Structure 1
Amino acid sequence: MTNQPLGDPKVLIDIVRTEMPFGKYQGRKLCDVPTYYLEWFYAQGWPKGRIGVLLETLFVIRTEGLHEILDELKRRYGQDR
């Protein structure tokens, strides 16, 4: 992963709390954005900044079959607190 800052545990929580700020899925939680949309970013290039880090991390979680961890994170942190 190119954008991932090492050792930032908040990344996973932010994936379930942050809304997509632009595009077709604007307003939807990042964790609910379809995989094909992430694949498009993978091919075209990740957005700059924090949103790119979050989307790239989510892509890795999905492609490595680790999506179950998102279910637990949604239960714990999915609601804005």
Structure 2
Amino acid sequence: MSEPLQRLVEMRMPYGKHKDMLIADLPGNYLNWFAREGFPPGELGRLLALMHEIDHNGLRHLLQPLRRD
């Protein structure tokens, strides 16, 4: 499961209000909006759903060791 977690701190949001922000840094209310409205297809949607679960459960701190300096 480490590869998807690593992608959260590497991949940037490709469009929208938070374009170019790391998926791991997206605000919770934006992730909640996707959860209500539907996640996009493909890898982006899977990563947004994963990040939503991490955020919802208060586990963002677990991504810190994966970040590059």
**How many residue pairs get matched?**
69
Q: Which has the higher helix share?
A: 2
**How far apart are the structure 2 equivalents of 1:49 and 1:57?**
13
1:9-53: per-residue Cα shift (whole Å, max 9, x none)? 310000000000111011111111111000000000001000000
**Higher gyration radius (CA):** 1
Structure 2 residue 29 is the aligned partner of structure 1 residue 36: yes
Q: Which one of the candidate residues 25, 39, 45 is aligned to 2:38?
A: 45
**Greater relative contact order (Cα 8 A, min sep 6): structure 1 or 2?**
1
Identify the residue that residue 56 of structure 1 maps to in structure 2.
49
**How far apart are the structure 2 equivalents of 1:42 and 1:63?**
11
Q: 4+ residue stretches of structure 1 with deviation over 6 A?
A: none
Q: Which amino acid aligns with 1:35?
A: G
Structure 2 unaligned segments of length 5 or more: list them. Answer: none
Structure 1 unaligned segments of length 5 or more: list them. Answer: 1-7
Identify the residue that residue 66 of structure 2 maps to in structure 1.
73
Identity %: 33
Q: Which amino acid aligns with 1:54?
A: L
**How far apart are the structure 2 equivalents of 1:23 and 1:9?**
27
Q: Which one of the candidate residues 1, 8, 11 is aligned to 2:4?
A: 11
CA apart distance, 1:71 = 1.3
CA apart distance, 1:70 = 1.3
